[in-house]
Chain A
């Protein structure tokens, strides 16, 4: 029995946003009497942590603690329009809309503070922890919460903001394909190491090591979660998953999780990653978006590693043990 090892690499780019644009996301923000800020959206959280990162972006822009942000989503009676959570667009699009709304709300807050503190708006700052002060005069500091209450009960004002972000719709030239198909591009490079059992054709993925360039990580722990989950899904696509095991034949399509194959806890490779941050010009705080791309580079990296290990090139996904065995037998005629 031979166990052959190999490594493979792959480098990819991934575009952020619905490719041809015209996909708005909107946000509304208002302050409560206690100085919390409610961010109203209709974007959905698929588990990637949208509520959390949008809360961080709102807190950052307003200058208040993360805990003061309430994310209210998704309800079409209260949340303004959003195109949806797909195309790695949510953090980029919703984040930009929230920044715009937060800046408007912040300005309304500063207008009230300006009157209350008898200082010019340009001379005011918010410290990121809910304190609003006159620049250079820390003694003239008030809580954002106090200004929010005064706005309502003394000045009769709303502290609110509206934000929208939309990349203008881009046409496609039907002859040349000239178009503007992205907002920004994130990048990944994966190195996979595999071991192949030449008697069974089974592949063990030993490690998936990747570098990702994502513009800006709003929440590194959540980015790490996307990377680990994406690497697993890429491995799963490369070696296991199909709804038509003998495509294009439609037979034997799976009905359940024992027939629809995915790797489990006993197939977990070592996963290691490094994240680069080279901020994009148009993402919120430089964000590019990482949701989708993490599954992409592991697939060709694993397939290339199998070739490196065995000399057998499999160009059909998923790379099943049978395909490898047939490849090996074709190289060395005669029964194994």
Chain B
């Protein structure tokens, strides 16, 4: 088939390569504008607190201070990224109103003539905070009496009336009864920073025609534009977003957090405004890959087939939703792994804690499921006395198999991929494994399944 193609399949030189090696590639932050102001955030020093008062008087006297923005200046003071993909409720404030739910939450935006003046003014804002009890563990957050992070009375995202995203296929309890082995594991992962080398940022520039041009390194240009238009309550046609060259994303630049407030500041000052995260803000404030706790319980037949798999997952969303509720749905769809398992039960909880919010990162909802599942597969292999290759081959899904979410598998090539990996490392596979394919199961291919 490749023979029919001319350029698809060829390693043509990257079209941006010369720009990259000469440094001529223009990133958003390589632009400067006359009169450009700098925005820095006053952030919560506490994990959870009630805001009793804010005193800007000393900050306002700093030489170079231009203005401060509070939540009262924000027309629609809620981020709308979930709303844009049809997920409710919107709950994260652009600037905190009466409460902060994580250390680093933005409270006041300071706009100043220079970055140094902005830093100085930020340091002079006095916050009157009443510290509240905080919760940091996904399971402690679900206990009765735990501090409530959200505005709706419990610490989970609600999926159509359920506190978790559910997937159900067959009857796991009955299959556990029949199983020869029960293998259980608990897997924990830490939050991780996307750490793109270029930090998240933008410059919003007022134009003579009343529009605003926003130079940004967002991963999703229209997401950012739509979100900004709603928060500012202006027609989208007043906004012009320019991007396309991003100094690394890895999911960290899908949150569209910086553009709305920078554009608002540009609107209120009628000057270009730059807002870019510092490296420590990128690490301590911007969204992370969520931490996970994943419980897996498997019922295994004597010959190593997985008869039933029950997965209970908790993702630490931090203080707000951002993209994590959506990640749990993707997680639930993939939490049984690339295996054919007739009985599956998955409960995937999006849990809120007083931690910096999590959101998207490379492998959204799947990376840590793959970690847990593939370590679990080795546990199963050890329990039933099979080698790690065999356990995966005999359980691998085939085209036409029903997945836990009830879509029939297509494009399944796990078996062929494992065969190629074995060949790469010189692992001699037994003939029966070498003969397998991912083709739909026929006679002799579904050996002994229930």
Report which A residues bind B (CB closer than 8 A).
Answer: 7-15, 18-20, 22, 42-47, 49, 51-52, 55-57, 59-60, 63, 65-66, 71, 73-77, 79, 81-87, 128-129, 169, 172, 174-182, 184-185, 187-191, 209-213, 215-222, 233, 237, 241-245, 247-250, 253-257, 260, 262, 272-274, 276-281, 285-286, 288, 291-293, 295-297, 299-301, 303-304, 307, 313, 315-318
The answer for the CA separation of A193 and B5 in the assembled complex, in Å, is 38
Looking at the assembled complex, report how far the CB atom of A82 sits from the nearest CB atom of chain B, in whole angstroms: 6
Q: Which residue of chain B lies nearest to A300 when distances are taken between CB atoms in the complex?
A: B374
Q: Check if B371 is an interface residue, CB within 8 A of chain A.
A: yes
Count of A-B contacts judged by CB separation below 8 Å = 382
A to B CB contacts below 8 Å, 6 in the list: A13-B334, A13-B414, A83-B222, A178-B405, A244-B291, A297-B370
B-side contacts of A242, CB under 8 Å: 190-192
> Are B219 and A86 in contact (CB-based, < 8 A)?
yes
> Are A316 and B283 in contact (CB-based, < 8 A)?
no
Interface of A is mostly: loop
The answer for the CA separation of A128 and B419 in the assembled complex, in Å, is 35
The answer for the CA separation of A278 and B364 in the assembled complex, in Å, is 24
> Are B241 and A76 in contact (CB-based, < 8 A)?
yes
Among A12, A243, A273, the residue within 8 A (CB) of B284 is A243
> Are B283 and A256 in contact (CB-based, < 8 A)?
yes
B-side contacts of A86, CB under 8 Å: 219-220, 249, 251, 254, 360, 364
Extra inter-chain contacts (18) besides given A12-B370, A43-B221, A83-B220, CB under 8 Å: A11-B421, A14-B363, A20-B329, A22-B86, A174-B162, A177-B166, A177-B404, A179-B405, A189-B417, A217-B9, A220-B10, A243-B356, A249-B136, A254-B193, A255-B279, A273-B424, A296-B367, A315-B185
Q: Which residue of chain A lies nearest to B186 when distances are taken between CB atoms in the complex?
A: A315
Looking at the assembled complex, report how far the CB atom of B269 sits from the nearest CB atom of chain A, in whole angstroms: 23
B-side contacts of A73, CB under 8 Å: 244
> Are A184 and B220 in contact (CB-based, < 8 A)?
no
**Most chain B Cβ neighbours within 10 Å, of A46, A82, A257, A288:** A46
Contact with A along B209-232 (1 / 0, CB 8 A): 000000000111111010000000
Contact with A along B141-175 (1 / 0, CB 8 A): 00000000000000000011110011111000000
The answer for the CA separation of A233 and B252 in the assembled complex, in Å, is 15
> Are A304 and B378 in contact (CB-based, < 8 A)?
yes
Given the interface pairs A46-B249, A243-B356, A297-B370, the reply to whether A316 lies near B188 with Cβ below 8 Å is yes
Q: Check if B12 is an interface residue, CB within 8 A of chain A.
A: yes
Report which B residues bind A (CB closer than 8 A).
Answer: 1-2, 5-16, 47, 85-86, 103, 136-138, 140, 159-162, 165-169, 185-193, 195, 218-223, 225, 239-251, 254, 279-280, 283-284, 288, 291, 316, 326, 329-330, 332-334, 337-338, 346, 353-356, 360, 362-364, 366-368, 370-375, 377-379, 388-389, 392, 396, 404-407, 409-414, 416-421, 423-425, 427
Looking at the assembled complex, report how far the CB atom of A250 sits from the nearest CB atom of chain B, in whole angstroms: 6
Given the interface pairs A85-B249, A185-B411, the reply to whether A209 lies near B421 with Cβ below 8 Å is yes
> Are A222 and B11 in contact (CB-based, < 8 A)?
yes
Q: Which residue of chain A lies nearest to B139 when distances are taken between CB atoms in the complex?
A: A248
Given the interface pairs A177-B166, A184-B410, the reply to whether A12 lies near B374 with Cβ below 8 Å is yes
B-side contacts of A276, CB under 8 Å: 413, 416-417, 420
Looking at the assembled complex, report how far the CB atom of B207 sits from the nearest CB atom of chain A, in whole angstroms: 11
The answer for the CA separation of A313 and B371 in the assembled complex, in Å, is 13
List of 5 A-B pairs having minimum Cβ-Cβ separation, nearest first: A84-B220, A177-B167, A300-B374, A128-B6, A74-B244
Given the interface pairs A66-B12, A176-B406, A178-B405, the reply to whether A60 lies near B219 with Cβ below 8 Å is no
Given the interface pairs A19-B330, A19-B333, A73-B244, the reply to whether A218 lies near B8 with Cβ below 8 Å is yes
The answer for the CA separation of A13 and B160 in the assembled complex, in Å, is 28
B-side contacts of A296, CB under 8 Å: 363, 366-367, 370-371
Among B7, B248, B329, B333, the residue within 8 A (CB) of A56 is B7
Given the interface pairs A248-B136, A296-B366, A304-B378, the reply to whether A175 lies near B168 with Cβ below 8 Å is yes
> Are B416 and A278 in contact (CB-based, < 8 A)?
yes
> Are A9 and B193 in contact (CB-based, < 8 A)?
no
Given the interface pairs A75-B244, A191-B424, A250-B103, the reply to whether A279 lies near B388 with Cβ below 8 Å is no
Given the interface pairs A87-B364, A244-B355, the reply to whether A11 lies near B417 with Cβ below 8 Å is yes
B-side contacts of A241, CB under 8 Å: 190, 192-193, 195
> Are B424 and A244 in contact (CB-based, < 8 A)?
no
The answer for the CA separation of A119 and B419 in the assembled complex, in Å, is 51
Looking at the assembled complex, report how far the CB atom of A186 sits from the nearest CB atom of chain B, in whole angstroms: 8
> Are B161 and A174 in contact (CB-based, < 8 A)?
yes
Among A12, A244, A272, the residue within 8 A (CB) of B338 is A12
Looking at the assembled complex, report how far the CB atom of A92 sits from the nearest CB atom of chain B, in whole angstroms: 12
B-side contacts of A15, CB under 8 Å: 330, 333-334, 366
